[in-house]
A and B are shown apart, each in its own frame.
Chain A
Amino acid sequence: MNVPLPKRIWQAFARTRVGRSIFRVGLPESNLERSQAMVSSFLLHVQPAKVHRHSLRAAYSLGLGLITLYLFLILIGTGVLLMFYYVPSTQQAYDAMKDLQFVVSAGLLMRNMHRWAAHLMVLFVMLHLCRVFYTGAYKRPREFNWLLGVGLFLLTVALSFTGYLLPWDQLAFWAIKVGTSIAGYAPVIGQKLRFLMLGGHTVGQEALIRFYVLHVIVLPGLAVLMIALHLWRVRKDGGLSRPDEPGDVVEQIELGQLPTNKTYGLMELARGTTPQVGRDPEDEVFSWPHLVFRELLLFLLVVAVVLFLAIFWNAPLEEFANPIHPPNPAKAPWYFLGLQELVSYSAFWGGVVVPGLLVTALALLPYLDRRRVGIGRWFARERWVANTIFTVCLLAAIVFTVIGSFFRGPNWGWVEPWQKPPAVSEGS
């Protein structure tokens, strides 16, 4: 038999006393060992030993949640490295950025990767949200997990926003000035909230250290907790959503609908569909290797894409922050440009009411739309009302974002992106 060398080395190591003490199961050869490999490893046991074929279909989930998770891992890795050089001081932060760019080995690459992974994470968290919506995957029993997902979406945006200030360049300073002023329009507590965010009335040293602490410990810590909960719920709610759910398992056992030639341990009596007690065990495959290797491949792909982008496109760094001269136009990060466009009509309606209503509607969605139809299928026809409403909101968000990004020039005036921007007259 022609066994490749790395595998032979691994097998030899796994057989030693040390190897066995660490891995317990070597490279699995039998189905029993495949199950044992999943159950006995801390990292792998988050996942079931067997997984439904439907969950593995790339065309169904598109792997969006997993990609988001991988981007988050890249962000933690690069972020921790960046922290070794970054100093959260208005005097030193910008110099640290310059050092990373010109002095530190691979410093520019790390910053670029962090920047790209951050933008991609915001994008993919949104795409993931759309996928879950269009497949009706937020319905019972997954309502709470949808809620956690909305929380994670907001956390991702907050992480990105707090990170935006840290380079302390013109882009950072004015984006945060505009962003926190929007928060100031919230009714009653707006000004107090803004004061608390900034630790004062202006964007200065106090604001920088606050955003830094939020960005490097408070928000990522919360995100790790919520991601863990999110993944745990995916499993407890019976894996990825799929059509024709057999309903509540306990109910089925009581009704005698489950086959009698199988026995069920009490710990498998989870609500909803679980791979262990589904009606069609023949549709399940062993997680090792089917799930694990797909996950590994996807991880490599995500890292490769982020590396590629980071090598060829640099993260921007404008001049040192100048509280006296706003750039013209002063733009927020891209995911806020739709909001900024709305805010240019009215700060209160566009900056507080509309986003507030949208987030509330997203959070309440699974409790409002309770019809259990069209679960586990893309664009199910029975759900055309919900799909239409969602699509209209989504298109509106995209249109406003595109206008804010490409059609707004000096003084937030209308420009066509294919024309040369008009010369900006500096004020007296």
Chain B
Amino acid sequence: MAATFATAASTVAAVRFLVPNVLYEPSERFKAGKPEDYPDGAVTFLENEQVFLLRKGNTFRCLSAVCTHLGCTVNRADHGYHCPCHGSVFNDQGEVEGGPAPHPLPWFQVTLSKDERLLVDKSKVVSSDKPLVV
């Protein structure tokens, strides 16, 4: 009985030990510059953040560039997005058109910070028809 408890407790402790409590990863929230930095109608790839920033008129939207299949970075094609790893194809709305991707690319929340910068939060997924209107 005591031995069972000791074994269970040390197993739990060992597994728990291996789960890090603090991650030194980049923040999910980042500032993406001023709205006027982006030309009208452009799809801009933000390399370090692995997202596309889309401007249409005075609306701003942000699409994930991480393939929902196995995490490769998708490339912008003439229409939609292509993943180089396993050939998933997404349309302009991020929806799956072909390939093994199980989910559409998520759209992230874009807000305006106090100092008038675009603020993207990758932890908040929004629907594609909820852009930021500036």
Instruction: List the interface of chain A (C-beta within 8 A of B).
Output: 174, 177-178, 181-182, 195-196, 199-202, 204-206, 324-330, 340, 343-348, 350, 410-413, 424-428
Contacts and interface: CB of A to CB of B under 8 A. Distances in A.
B86 A206 contact: no
Nearest to B83: A411
Interface string B41-85: 001110110100000000000000000011111111100001111
Contacts of A413: 87
Contacts of A177: 70-72
Contacts of B43: 428
Interface residues of B, number: 31
A74 to B, nearest CB: 31
Contacts of B47: 324
A214 to B, nearest CB: 11
Nearest to B89: A411
Given A177-B70, A181-B70, A330 B76 contact: no
Nearest to B20: A199
Given A177-B70, A326-B73, A348 B85 contact: no
B33 interface: no
Contact of B48 (A205, A206, A324): A324
B72 A200 contact: no
Contacts of A181: 69-71
Contact of A343 (B25, B48, B70): B70
Contacts, number: 92
Contact of A200 (B23, B77, B83): B23
B25 A412 contact: no
B72 A174 contact: yes
A427 B72 CA distance: 13
- 6 closest cross-chain pairs (CB), A and B: A427-B75, A328-B84, A181-B70, A412-B87, A428-B76, A344-B86
Contacts of A326: 72-73, 84-85
Contacts of B50: 324
Contacts of B74: 427
Contacts of B71: 177-178, 181
A292 B20 CA distance: 50
Contacts of A411: 82-84, 87
B84 A410 contact: yes
A182 B85 contact: no
Contacts of B99: 344, 412
B18 A196 contact: yes
B39 interface: no
A171 to B, nearest CB: 13
A324 B43 CA distance: 17
